[in-house]
Amino acid sequence: MTAELAVLLQRVDLLAVVDIVAVTLIIYLLLVLIQGTRADQILIGIVFIALLDILASYLQLRVLQWLLQYAVPALVVAIPIIFQPELRRLLEQLGRTSTIIQRPLTVLGTTPASNPLHTIEQICEATIRLSERRYGGLMAIERQTGLNDFIARGEPLDAAVNASLLLNIFFTNAPLHDGAVIIRGDRIMAAHCLFPLSDEVSESEQFGTRHRAALGISQETDALAIVVSEENGTISVALNGQLIRNLDEPRLRAILVNALVGHGSGGEVSNGEVAPRNKSKDTSPTSQKFWRGLTASWRSRGKEKPADQRAT
């Protein structure tokens, strides 16, 4: 072992060191580039497939090897398409290398709040005040999947979460009234952000643009979105593609605490409760709460007024 290591070190020259440093720098820049975006979740899936391929080769799993043999070439073609926004950003930033290098490489994903309960209280207070004044509002709280793609297209703020500030942002005649606010940890990262609109809404539900945008961001990411209707002041929460409406302050607080503090990985939301993902309909207390709440929320939808149709 020592002899092999000595021979290997003898082959290392200056060009080899430069080669290794260059590859390391490229990998570092790519990781920094996708940090806080949806691409980091895709990268984890690619790494998992690569590890699965190595394991299949080592254990001589013939069927799995055959499957991966045809899946990997398709993945190679799909990678440039999937990472097209990130690759375009990388090319745009090649002339601004200092901007990339000065950005710290932390854990991929979101930055936790220093005091999540205080942040939740500020969000609840702002939501209730918006509802009382019939100010339309849309707030997205970042969780595991980064929202940097949407933050870059909004108006950057980077301000502490504060109920009065949120109320001023969504004031009817304020410049940033239309669009969404994105919250990361205990910071308001940006306002006037635009989200994709969900198409999975039936005509009978008559959701407004804000509600469709909340559903859209909750379907594409694991973010939790809070919507206040400008028409009737109804408070709604979208999480994992589900929307529950007619929330009061205690139920809103319970959802936020369960989703952001109690269940870090998130789950399905209904009737003020957050049920963990991948749970079947069994007789456990959590499952019973979820299915009862989901049934009640569907029944209540027919009694509600149409949501506001104003811009997101």
Q: How far is CA 91 from CA 79, 84, 96, in A?
A: 16, 11, 10
How do strand 273-276 and strand 267-270 relate by DSSP bridges? antiparallel
In whole angstroms, what is the distance from residue 291 CA to residue 67 CA? Answer: 38
DSSP code of 262? I
| Integer-rounded Cα radius of gyration of the chain | 23
Least confident of 68-72, 112-116, 150-154, 193-197: 112-116
The alpha carbon dihedral of 42, 43, 47, 53 has a sign of: positive
In whole angstroms, what is the distance from residue 94 CA to residue 21 CA? Answer: 17
The C-alpha torsion from 49 through 94 and 189 to 43, rounded to 10°, is 0
In whole angstroms, what is the distance from residue 92 CA to residue 87 CA? Answer: 9
Residue 20 has pLDDT above 70, yes or no: yes
Other CB atoms within 10 A of residue 86 CB: 19
Question: Which residues are registered as beta bridge partners of 20?
Answer: none
In whole angstroms, what is the distance from residue 154 CA to residue 45 CA? Answer: 28
Per-residue model confidence as pLDDT tens digits over 224-283: 999 999 888 999 999 988 898 899 999 999 999 998 886 444 445 444 444 444 433 333
Helix (H) or strand (E) holding 181: strand 180-184
Residue 308 has a pLDDT of 39
Phi-psi region of 266 (alpha: psi -120 to 50; beta: other; left: phi over 0): left
Task: Provide CATH code, domain 116-268.
Answer: 3.40.1700.10
Residues 6+ away with beta carbon under 8 Å from 37:
85, 86, 146, 148, 149
In whole angstroms, what is the distance from residue 177 CA to residue 4 CA? Answer: 66
Least confident of 110-119, 135-144, 149-158, 300-309: 300-309
The overall pTM is greater than 0.85: no
Q: Where are the domains of the chain?
A: 11-101, 116-268
**Higher per-residue pLDDT: 117 or 294:** 117
Per-residue model confidence as pLDDT tens digits over 286-311: 344 444 444 444 444 444 433 333 44
In whole angstroms, what is the distance from residue 141 CA to residue 193 CA? Answer: 13
